[in-house]
């Protein structure tokens, strides 16, 4: 810079001063701020004065630093007094306020350690910790997690102390994401070091448990176990239904079984159908043979010649071979083979054959109805059997897939997705910058404000001086 006025220049040179020893980081910062206050203040005031186009120099003039220095020297008592007063007040306030201690714990969110895959038909979506990074801090500060810390806080506080409210506990806790978000720092501010460390560690443990329960495999494991049990029950039920249907349907029927025995209730449907079909065929064949015998008997009645006795004997032999003379509803036929009357015998046989034909036709119709009903039932059972076989296959596949998934989840459940990476130790020093730093900061702020104030006062006075001089000249004139 160059000075205005008489053209004399004033050079300002600042060189660092090396002091023996190694000052602390806080002291170095305070010294730098204190040394920079006058320079920054003068530069700021210069900008303000130039913008207002008034001040110690006109806009077209060069800046004269001596005028600023004279103003600072003139008001040095006020400036120093305000700085000292601010520092003393800040020191007193920081000394009166109770100290607070800060403890931090770290929680690492890495995902499961193991990833198993026994069956490719049922796959999990890979867990990416960074996908939920924005919500980790909100989960850490949720009421579900913080409520568990009230008991820890009550145990660490004095017995006569008032219980800590949830809102007050929230103000003591701060959760922040570190790095890519898979590391969460849990910070606690408390009145004692032990309380801060205890709350931080309890918070970390509760938070880890909440994350593992929310994103871990334990909940999936419980659900899978329930699903596996249900799938197994469905498989067993399908097996029982299929076994009952096969038993009723007649699978495993042995043709060597005695078909003429009385049918127990456990005989299968297919056996009954086969038996009724066989009986229907036998009765239809018998009915056809009876019809042939009826024609022969009619021919004997019509002929009645010397060959009739032989024909009657042959007809009688055929009837005996068919078993037509059995203990049923057919009437008894008496024939005297010694003195046979061919015509009368033929008529008697014809009547017996016609009665037997009527009874046989009734049996045939009965068996036809039973066979038709059994065929319809067999078709229905066949469709039901196919449905049960398909359902059994689906249930078995579902059970196998869920069983494999359950084994995968059991292996993966041994590794949690979150764990405590660093536990908090009781802090040795109170949190914050300390009373010295607070006092120095208050002194710097007071110095800046006071310098601006004296410059403004001087600026205001210089603005009033020309007006007063002009008023005095007018009165003198």
User: Tokens at residue 226, please?
Assistant: 């329930």
The kind and range of the H/E element at 164 are: none
Residue 137's alpha-carbon distances to 175, 183, 190, 421, in angstroms, are: 5, 10, 20, 16
In the predicted structure, residue 325 carries a pLDDT above the cut 50: no
- Collapse the DSSP code of 186 into the 3-class scheme (helix H, G, I; strand E, B; otherwise coil) and give the result: strand
Report the C-alpha gap between 413 and 332 in whole angstroms.
89
Q: How far is CA 445 from CA 30, 73, 87, 337, 368, in A?
A: 12, 19, 10, 153, 115
Judging by DSSP bridges, how do beta strands 173-178 and 101-109 pair with one another? Answer: unpaired
Q: Is the pLDDT of residue 436 over 90?
A: no
Domain boundaries along the sequence of the chain: 25-98+432-461, 101-217, 270-378
Q: What is the mean pLDDT of residues 398-408?
A: 78
Asked if the model's pLDDT at residue 9 lies above 50, the reply is no
Measured at the CA of 58, the angle between CA 52 and CA 62, to 5 degrees, comes to 120
> Cα separation of 93 and 439, whole Å?
9
Read off the pLDDT band of 388 (50, 70, 90).
Answer: confident
DSSP 3-state of 433: coil
Contact, 420 vs 90, CB < 8 A?
Answer: no
Whether 83 contacts 446, CB under 8 Å? yes
How confident is the model at residue 204, as a pLDDT?
92
Q: Residue 324 corresponds to which tokens in the numbers above?
A: 């037509």
Choose among 241, 239, 271, 233: nearest CA to 384.
241
Q: What is the mean pLDDT of residues 293-308?
A: 66
Q: Give residue-wise pLDDT tens across range 224-239.
A: 788 888 888 888 888 8
Q: What is the mean pLDDT of residues 273-295?
A: 86
CA dihedral (232, 234, 240, 243) positive or negative: negative
pLDDT: which is higher, 331 or 137: 137
User: What is the rounded CA–CA span in Å between residue 458 and residue 77?
Assistant: 15
Give the pLDDT score at 159.
Answer: 66
Look at residue 3 and tell me whether its pLDDT is greater than 50. Answer: no
Per-residue pLDDT for 216 more than 80? no
CA distance 83 to 443: 5
Dihedral sign computed on CA atoms, order 20, 26, 32, 35: negative
Residue written as token pair 């460390």: 197
CB pairs under 8 A, 24+ apart, for 374-380?
A: 374/269, 374/272, 374/273, 374/276, 375/273, 377/269, 378/249, 378/269, 378/270, 378/273
Instruction: Please report which residue ranges of 97-192 form alpha helices under DSSP H.
Output: 133-140, 143-146, 149-156, 166-172
Comparing 459 with 207, the larger pLDDT belongs to 207
Which of 342, 265, 272, 345 has its CA nearest to residue 307?
342
């Amino acid at each position: 810079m160059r000075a205005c006025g008489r053209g004399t220049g004033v050079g300002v040179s600042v060189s660092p001063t090396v002091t023996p020893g190694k000052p602390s980081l806080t002291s170095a910062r305070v010294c730098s701020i204190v040394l920079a206050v006058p320079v920054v203040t003068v530069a700021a005031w210069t900008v303000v004065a130039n913008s207002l186009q008034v001040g110690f120099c006109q806009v077209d003039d060069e800046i004269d630093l001596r005028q600023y220095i004279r103003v600072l020297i003139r008001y040095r008592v006020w400036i120093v007094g305000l700085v000292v007063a601010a520092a003393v007040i800040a020191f007193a306030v920081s000394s009166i306020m109770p100290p607070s201690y800060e403890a931090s714990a770290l929680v690492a969110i890495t995902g499961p350690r193991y990833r198993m895959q026994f069956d490719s038909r049922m796959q999990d979506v890979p867990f990416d910790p960074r996908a939920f990074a924005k919500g980790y801090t909100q989960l850490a500060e949720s009421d579900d997690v913080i409520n568990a810390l009230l008991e820890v806080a009550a145990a660490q506080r004095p017995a006569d102390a008032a219980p800590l409210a949830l809102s007050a506990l929230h103000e003591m806790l701060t959760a922040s994401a570190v790095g890519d978000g898979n590391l969460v720092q849990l910070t606690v501010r408390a009145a004692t070091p032990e309380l801060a460390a205890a709350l931080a560690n309890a918070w970390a443990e509760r938070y880890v448990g909440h994350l593992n329960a929310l994103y871990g495999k334990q909940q999936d494991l419980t659900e899978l176990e329930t699903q596996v049990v249900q799938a197994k029950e469905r498989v067993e039920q399908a097996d029982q239904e299929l076994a009952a249907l096969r038993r009723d349907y007649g699978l495993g029927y042995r043709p060597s079984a005695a078909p003429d025995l009385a049918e127990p209730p456990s005989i299968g449907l297919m056996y009954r159908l086969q038996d009724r079909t066989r009986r229907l065929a036998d009765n239809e064949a018998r009915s056809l043979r009876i019809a042939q015998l009826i024609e022969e008997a009619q021919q004997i009645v019509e002929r009645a010649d010397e060959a009739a006795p032989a024909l009657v004997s042959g007809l009688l032999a055929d009837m005996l071979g068919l078993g037509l003379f059995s203990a049923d509803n057919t009437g008894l036929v008496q024939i005297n083979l010694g003195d046979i009357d061919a015509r009368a015998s033929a008529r008697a046989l014809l009547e017996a054959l016609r009665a037997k034909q009527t009874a046989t036709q009734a049996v045939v119709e009965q068996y036809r109805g039973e066979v038709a009903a059994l065929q319809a039932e067999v078709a229905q059972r066949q469709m039901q059997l196919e449905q049960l076989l398909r359902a059994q296959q689906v249930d078995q596949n579902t059970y196998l897939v869920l069983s494999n998934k359950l084994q995968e989840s059991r292996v993966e459940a041994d590794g949690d997705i979150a764990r405590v990476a660093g536990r908090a130790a009781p802090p040795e020093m109170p949190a914050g910058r300390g009373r010295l730093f607070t006092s120095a900061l208050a002194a710097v702020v007071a110095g800046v404000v006071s310098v601006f104030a004296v410059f403004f006062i001087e600026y205001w006075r210089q603005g009033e001086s020309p007006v007063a001089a002009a008023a005095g000249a007018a009165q003198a004139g």
